[in-house]
Amino acid sequence: MPIEQNLYRLLDVSVTATPHEIRQAYELAKRTYGGESLATYSLFGAEDRQAVMAQIEEAYRVLGDPERRRAYDARSTQGPRPDGKSNAAAASTTASNDRPQPTLDEPPPAETTIPDLVTGRDLKQWREARRLSLQTIANLTRINIKYLQYLEEEQHDKLPHTVFIRSYLLQYARVLKLDPDRLLNGYLKHMDGRPGT
DSSP secondary structure code for residue 109 in this structure:
S
Residues of the chain with CATH 1.10.287.110: 7-90
Query: Per residue in 56-87, pLDDT tens?
Result: 888 899 999 999 999 988 887 544 444 444 44
- Record the pTM: 0.50
Domain 7-90 belongs in CATH node 1.10.287.110? yes
* CATH code at 92-197: 1.10.260.40
Q: What is the pLDDT of residue 116?
A: 92
Query: Per residue in 34-44, pLDDT tens?
Result: 655 444 444 55
Q: Are 59 and 11 in contact (CB under 8 A)?
A: yes
Residues of the chain with CATH 1.10.260.40: 92-197
Please report the DSSP string for 51-76 in residue order.
HHHHHHHHHHHHHTSHHHHHHHHHH-
The number of CA neighbours under 13 Å toward the Cβ of 51 is 14
Is residue 46 exposed (0-12), middle (13-18) or buried (19+ Cβ within 10 Å)?
exposed
